[in-house]
Amino acid sequence: MSSTMKGLVLRTTPGICNKRLFKGKYVDQIHVLKESFAIGRVGNARCYNSRNFIVNGLNNAKPNRYEPSFRGPTRAEAILTPVSDPTPTAQKRVFTFGKGRSEGNKGMKSLLGGKGANLAEMASIGLSVPPGLTISTEACQEYQLNGKKLEEGLWEEILEGLEMVEKDIGASLGNPSKPLLLSVRSGAAISMPGMMDTVLNLGLNDEVVAGLASKSGERFAYDSYRRFLDMFGGVVLGIPHSLFEEKLEILKHAKGVKLDTELTASDLKELVEQYKNVYLETKGEKFPSDPKQQLQLAVKAVFDSWESPRAIKYRSINQITGLKGTAVNIQCMVFGNMGNTSGTGVLFTRNPSTGEKKLYGEFLINAQGEDVVAGIRTPEDLDTMKSCMTEAYKELVENCKILERHYKDMMDIEFTVQENRLWMLQCRSGKRTGKGAVKIAVDMVNEGLVDMRFAIKMVEPQHLDQLLHPQFENPAAYKDKVVAKGLPASPGAAVGQIVFKTDDAEAWHAQGKSVILVRTETSPEDVGGMHAAVGILTARGGMTSHAAVVARGWGKCCISGCSEIRVNEIEKVVVIEDVVIPEGEWLSLNGSTGEVIMGKQPLSPPALSGDLEIFMSWADKIRQLKVMANADTPEDALTARNNGAQGIGLCRTEHMFFASDERIKTVRKMIMAVTPEQRKAALDSLLPYQRSDFEGIFRAMDGLPVTIRLLDPPLHEFLPEGDLQQIVSELTAETGVNEDEVFSRIEKLSEVNPMLGFRGCRLGISYPELTEMQARAIFQAAVSMSNHGVKVLPEIMVPLVGTPQELGHQASLIRSVANKVFSEMGSSLNYKVGTMIEIPRAALVADEIAKEAEFFSFGTNDLTQMTFGYSRDDVGKFLPIYLAQGILQNDPFEVLDQRGVGQLIKIATERGRAARPSLKVGICGEHGGEPSSIAFFAEAGLDYVSCSPFRVPIARLAAAQVAV
């Protein structure tokens, strides 16, 4: 098993606890046995369910007279209809559960939290769950509103619930002859692993520990007691864990031992007394020995942890809002370290990495988590349990089948065997890799567990992201080599030698080298180097910066806004703190996490499979929203088509101008032209380039629509970079225009706010010859390809329209050119003229614009910029503060602002279709590949979304998920 587990990389599924996986076996950073099975250690067990359940006669594996509710067979007997309490839940704040009965169910996560709801469900369907009770999230909300005091009557309800549990168990809290120990755990509706508090072994005091020792052995009892004193002190009273740890280390040194397990029962008794003195020394009062007082204090501590700084920060980072608070789960405890007939484990009902239908997990005999964390024990394969605990293993296998059938999903399960008796401690939907998710969904349909529509919801868009980009083999292996962290602008992994200039990136790439382009920031001029590089790293820029947008469009790994790096292009070095990294050094980038890693880390290629094709065919059958792609070259168009795009929703003609030196020089001649004749001459030179590109795109998209946007950016973006004199000299040499005229022209092009300046349709109206050239190139290419048997469906899009008159001017020009070309070439074809809605005014007068436009495409990048009044280039200065303080819940350039920008889209769609019922409406901004935004577009009645070629499968899935 260990060899198969190495290299396993698992994604956290939103709303699911980071899993308790075994250290040294699973690469995730969770230490299951430390965090979830240990009896003690402050803060180590904050995310999982109770382990320990003490009754009279612990050493007797068979149920006795103190266990009336657990008589009968130990094998699982499924009761498939949950037993519900008839009391209206609105009046209840405490919900009990035990085998075969519960007052809650899996649908009550908002009230009982994810953990409590799943415990109740497992109990309902007849699995052996240690009995307990859940205090609702509403009680937590009341506690916070009530000045951090328990609401009147709540404590009495808790005690009533406890009495029911005690009757189930035949033992009671604080009773030395029939000792019952409890765990008190948090559990919100959305899991927040490790962010809130847990107390284990609650109920121990000097009298109870003596009773426990007489039944279960002194060493076990006093080890549990000292762990409880440590955890209770830290979680409930805020005593630093280090004070307890210090006493432990001194004692081990005095006794001449290295490991906790080498301490004798007598040693542990001595340690308990020292731990109790820590309470007196730090708090000036004795350890609270009354078990019910312990319970009340622990419940309050869990409620308080909802508002702890770490929990607040976690909710902010993960955009978790709208929750009432945390539930509190109070549960009897069971032990896996009661001898060779006991043990503890975690498993997945299927392999989470590959999706293979086989139990996948680990097990430890006679163990608690500390044994593994201390390095004493190595977890073993589940087959170990099969050979030494046959009946418990059979029951576990049957339980896995029951849970998969019941939840219709691959499950992650925690369990403990106490003296040959299986106890199910927690279950949840198991996190999985992209490859695993797709296989599990397809297999479950084939097995008849779920139908096709249900399977579509089992794979997350992020899972497909994993499949479509290279990933690192083992992210855990490089953690100590991470030197900086930026924004995860474009997912995937990249490994290469660093270069600092575009020319060098292209030259090195031509030599067959793998390069990473490192820049302070990128501009359109860097496009050649960006294309040549396997990954891009910039010190400045956000998630919608030039580098980020271009990289996502190409499916390239990119980290932007990495403020920890200082780029020195002259010296050709990048400085990170005191580390100087020269050109040619190997660097690895994780575009999914933003991590910058030293050295050459091993990669896994994208894992495409037949299962993925099957799964995507289901998505296509179900979805109604069409998915197009943003593609600027024939190569991009082909990639888009191969990924399932149903056309090109945005072809940006300006990107073609940077494809070669000849092209950009010709563009600069056009910009420097003083007379219309000079400008037309330059444009005539550009026309063959444009026509050739359009022919390639039309050929690649045979039979599918292609939407081509006319020139949009400000002209100054096509000028060289550098100081003014350098730019003037370069332009003088390139264009033949004298220096004075170049200076004058640059001065005229200079703008205070170019994004709101001379761009879009304003260029075409001021320089009609520019629109004429582009339209001519489009129609000549279209007719030529049509004559070669290619079915061409061109759609010409006029950018940045704010008035119907602007569109009318450009549409008239385009149609006039079309007629001329059709006449000259003796052939015609159907085409559409439409506009990009990216100015708020255009959305509001959409009914007037629709009289001229045959289609609308929402440019949500600019529409967001203009609606908020945020400059995309400068938003990084304040956006992190807005997100941290909750002023904004999401970056509006990543996730559509549905209440503002979204309403403009709805208004424009409704008004446009009122004026022209046949109006085709879509979106081509960055939001076209974002799942929650896609859901909004579908509900708003749009016909299509357009996104980068590499995000097409994700958009196809998101569109299908909206439909189900």
Would you name the residues annotated as active-site residues? 546, 924
10 Å CB burial of residue 834 (0-12, 13-18, 19+) is buried
Instruction: Round to whole Å and give the CA distance between 827 and 830.
Output: 11
N- to C-terminal Cα separation, the chain:
38
Any idea what DSSP says for residue 36?
I
Dihedral Cα 732, 738, 743, 749, nearest 10 deg: -70
Residue 295 and residue 201: Cα distance in Å, rounded? 11
Which residue's structure tokens are 């608690």?
368
Measured between alpha carbons, how far is 204 from 209 in angstroms, rounded to an integer?
Answer: 6
- 792 vs 830: CA distance, rounded Å: 9
Report how far residue 821's alpha carbon sits from residue 818's, in angstroms, rounded to the nearest whole number.
Answer: 5
How far apart (Å, rounded) are the C-alpha atoms in residues 16 and 427?
Answer: 10
Which residues does 87 contact at the CB level (< 8 Å), separation at least 6? 103
Take residue 352 and report the two structure tokens written for it.
Answer: 């989470």
For residue 381, how many other CB atoms are within 10 A of its CB? 16
CB neighbour burial string for 944-961, b if at least 16 within 10 angstroms, e if fewer? bbbbbbbbbbbbbbbbbb
- The CA-CA-CA angle for residues 211, 217, 222, to 5°, reads 75
Give Cβ neighbours of residue 581 (< 8 Å, ≥ 6 apart): 498, 573, 574, 575, 587, 598
How many residues does this entry show for the chain? 964
DSSP secondary structure, 233-269, as one string: HHHHH---HHHHHHHHHHHHHHHT-SSGGGS-HHHHH
Q: What are the counts of helices (DSSP H) followed by strands (DSSP E) for the chain?
A: 37, 32
Q: Which two tokens stand for residue 577?
A: 């703190």
State the burial class of residue 12 (Cβ atoms within 10 Å of its Cβ: 0-12, 13-18, 19+). middle
Residue type, 551: A
Q: In a 10 Å sphere around its CB, with 0-12 CB exposed, 13-18 middle and 19+ buried, how is residue 790 labelled?
A: middle
Q: How many CB atoms lie within 10 A of CB 335?
A: 27
Residues of the chain by 3-state class (helix, strand, coil), percent to 5 = 45, 15, 35
**Residue 63 φ/ψ, nearest 5 degrees:** -60, 140
| DSSP track, 162-197 | HHHHHHHHT-BTT-SSSB--EEEEEE-SS--TTTS-
Distance (Å, whole) CA 625 – CA 958: 10
CA–CA dist 752, 164 (Å, integer): 74
CA-to-CA distance for 226 and 236, rounded, in angstroms? 15
Which one-letter amino acid corresponds to residue 295? Answer: L
Of 629, 634, 630, the closest CA to residue 644 belongs to 629
Nearby residues of 158 by Cβ (< 8 Å), 6 or more positions away: 94, 133, 135, 295, 299, 330
Three-state DSSP state, 632: coil
> At residue 96, what is the residue type?
T
- Cα–Cα distance for residue pair 577/630, rounded to 1 Å: 39
Q: Could you identify the residue written with the tokens 């400045």?
A: 540
Sheet holding 573-576, edge to edge: 565-568, 573-576, 579-582
